[in-house]
Structure 1
């Protein structure tokens, strides 16, 4: 069986959310909808670009070993106009995931697991720190 969630995303999502997304088309649809409805203010996009200069070095600047937080020239960086759209999508995705996590936490807040079927990392479980 193929997972609908990339293995690399499981660590970011957490195992319970990843399992829900892997096995529930409705959960995947909700996540996609939440991601698409997020609006990211222009100043947040610009702030992200400015604070993460290391992510926007040009290939030439990388080859030359430019320190993005040291002495640089404007041509050492991908121009903001080219980076803006990918940053916006990344921030929308992150905001959508936060909205999904909040919805998921509310949806399972009153769930009571049968004895022996609790999630091992659930702090509500009396033995949640037990490891093998």
Structure 2
């Protein structure tokens, strides 16, 4: 097979130009030895390929769901991802969500489909009492799980409930997104040199999502 593309998604080619456009703005890396620089560049392209493929998969799923086509993103905005998102999601998924309108739209749709039982919200409140201490209780060093703590030391459940529900729905939406991605990737065949950066079948692999 002649590979003039980075991947096949259900048999349809994803051209190299899409990865090149994603990387056009470039990342400002410090000078390194020639061998390490070549390795880093190969890994950068593998990483970018994963982001572009997620964007393509999300576009297709949005179309299947009848969701409005998202607007394009300028390549000049690429490669600026919040560190907190990288820590929580992994760099590939964080970059995809930061720069793919389709991925964000799909995540929002999946999140809206989640139903959080009242029991789960209440259970979260009870298990994370330290998060709901009042400012006065914090100043006095009240132990939220100690016997001396009383109802007045906590923000009431009614005040905390909506925020907890949003947080749990967001987490459930992300789990659904990762589940969708695992399933969607089964229809992808990557070209040699564009495998996942953590794929142990190539010598440059490193396990950094």
Q: TM-score range by the shorter chain?
A: 0.7 to 0.9
Match of residue 107 from structure 2: 31
TM-score by length of 2: 0.56
Whole-Å separation in 2 of the counterparts to 1:76 and 1:113:
56
CA contact (8 A) 1:21 1:28 kept: yes
Flag structure 1 segments of 5+ consecutive residues without an equivalent: none
**Which aligned pairs between 1:52-131 and structure 2 lie closer than 5 A?**
52-70=128-146, 71-122=148-199, 125-127=201-203, 128-129=205-206
Indicate whether 1:18 and 2:86 are aligned: no
TM-score by length of 1: 0.86
Question: Which one has a bigger Cα radius of gyration?
Answer: 2
The offset of 1:22, in angstroms, is 2.2
Structure number with higher relative contact order (C-alpha < 8 Å, ≥ 6 residues apart): 2
Match of residue 35 from structure 2: none
Flag structure 2 segments of 5+ consecutive residues without an equivalent: 1-75
Looking at secondary structure, tell me which structure has more strand per residue: 2
User: How many correspondences in the alignment?
Assistant: 130
- Which consecutive aligned stretches of 4+ in structure 1 deviate over 3 angstroms post-superposition? 1-7, 125-131
Whole-Å separation in 2 of the counterparts to 1:107 and 1:73:
49
Moved more, 36-45 or 13-22: 13-22
